[in-house]
Chains A and B, each alone.
Chain A
Amino acid sequence: MSGTLWFAEQVRQLNYSFKFGAIWKYQDQILEGIVLTLQLSIVTMIMGLAIGLLVALAGSSPRRTLRLPAQIYVEAIRNTPLLVQLFIVFFGLPSIGIKLGANTAAVIALTINMGAYGAEIIRAGIESVRRHQIEAGRALGLTAYQTFRHVVLFQAMKAIYPSLASQFVLLMLATSIVSAIGASELFHQGAFIESRTYRSFEVYTLITLTYLLITLGLRTVFAGIYWVIFVRRPVR
């Protein structure tokens, strides 16, 4: 018997009818979840990159007192799971007197996490601009700021854009983890719908596929932005 037939037979013998329709009336919750997930991703991406920039600068500093803490931060975050970091912030910090709501804890944990990855991306971007490009800028009489603004910035941006774009998608997918502490986003909405319908499989399949749609949408948008900024740009 072929695989498909066997599968169809298994499904027929189930005393379970798949009811995706029962979930359809919760489309408002799902839409709200999409908006919440995107908001959470954008906020943590921006704050994470701000931290990442500071850490990248500290990490490339000639002073060891700045470099060492930056390296420890990046390694500690990149080598431990986000879920455990989240539990430390949400369950651990209250025991030293810092009580945070689920949403705040989620933003903090995701930002700290993103900061470490952002630092690595930014560091790679700065390193990608060759030293002689900077020297050429200075030789043409540009100030340090002008060299950074007109020579380094654009090239570095172009070099790190793909990693930033894929990091954003990874971050968006990772936000699903904060549902573990009950922070509001798409996956948490899924848990809510599950509690109302008891249709675990259908709910989580639908939610998972919704993430796929967001990913595909984001990738399209990012490819469009790349084309507009870096490809179509006239040579100056």
Chain B
Amino acid sequence: MIREFASADVFYLLLAARWTIGLALVAAIGGGLLGLLIALARILPFAPLNWLAIGYINIIQGTPLLGQLFVFFFGLPLLGFPVGAWTAAAISLSLYASAFLGEIWRGALQSVAKRQWEAGAALGLTYRQRFTHVVIPQAVRISIAPTVGFLVQLVKNTSLTALIGFVELTRASQIITAATFAPLTVYLTAAAIYFVICFTLSQLSRVLERRLHGAR
């Protein structure tokens, strides 16, 4: 039965947006933890580890996220893990985020000047001490703005999970469109909700960049 697009539908979309945010958060945390390992594997002075990290990053950044989603969605059940759309989505988005966050953080770690390492060494600090007390605090500063910027990409990319049937904002819009047959209104409303989330993050990233760079 076709009904009118009403305020209840906007409410339903807002409820669905919680899943968009939830998925983005899970992927940010999972991808963040893994991304730390990737960044470390990329810069520690041990060649095979570097190659492994580079290979991983190339595979994730060189293939479409949609492909990764489908591979996990169809592949994990074959390996004996009967996962649903939520788990497949969370896993693939986390892996996706880890490759990008890993690269952002590697860049930040490497942008700390070599002189800083040398100064640490001259003061008699060990490799680990130089890493934790000299390099990391500076790298964190540099990486905060681009990290928040990447979160915008992550939120937008959660929309692809609609295509494996995970009910987040985009999938919810499809469902409401089927009921109300008002696609333009529904998708514009969804776009507006995405915009509010993403624009807030973009602006935050800009403010952080200005503030942290000004302070240096």
Contacts and interface: CB of A to CB of B under 8 A. Distances in A.
Contact of A92 (B170, B174, B184, B198): B184
A78 B199 CA distance: 9
A176 interface: yes
A180 B162 CA distance: 10
Interface of A: 7, 10-11, 13-14, 16, 75-76, 78-85, 87-88, 91-96, 169, 173-174, 176-177, 179-180, 187, 200-201, 204-205, 207-209, 211-212, 215-216
Nearest to A9: B80
B64 A173 contact: yes
A80 B157 CA distance: 10
Interface string B42-85: 00000000000000001101111111101100110011100000
Given A79-B152, A88-B191, A95 B182 contact: yes
B202 interface: yes
A85 B92 CA distance: 23
- Considering residues A85, A92, A179, A209, which has the most beta carbons from chain B within 10 angstroms of its beta carbon? A92
A173 B157 CA distance: 13
Given A79-B152, A83-B170, A92-B188, A207 B67 contact: yes
A195 to B, nearest CB: 14
A95 to B, nearest CB: 5
A209 B184 CA distance: 35
Given A10-B79, A80-B198, A84-B194, A95 B184 contact: yes
Contact of A212 (B63, B70, B183, B202): B63
A87 B187 CA distance: 7
Contacts of A84: 159, 170, 173, 187, 190-191, 194
Contacts of B183: 87-88, 91-92, 94-95
A14 B80 contact: yes
Contacts of B187: 84, 87-88, 91-92
A226 B187 CA distance: 41
Interface SS, B side:
helix
Given A91-B183, A92-B187, 19 more contacts: A11-B79, A16-B78, A79-B195, A79-B198, A80-B156, A80-B194, A80-B195, A82-B159, A83-B170, A84-B159, A84-B170, A84-B187, A84-B194, A87-B170, A92-B184, A177-B160, A187-B67, A205-B75, A215-B62
Nearest to B68: A208
A200 B74 contact: yes
A82 B184 contact: no
Contact of B159 (A83, A96, A187): A83
23 contacts: A13-B80, A79-B202, A80-B156, A80-B191, A82-B156, A83-B159, A83-B160, A84-B191, A84-B194, A87-B174, A91-B183, A92-B183, A94-B183, A95-B184, A173-B63, A173-B64, A187-B66, A200-B70, A208-B70, A209-B63, A211-B63, A212-B58, A212-B59
Contacts of B157: 81
A188 to B, nearest CB: 11
Interface in B157-190: 157-160, 162-163, 170, 173-174, 177, 182-184, 187-188, 190
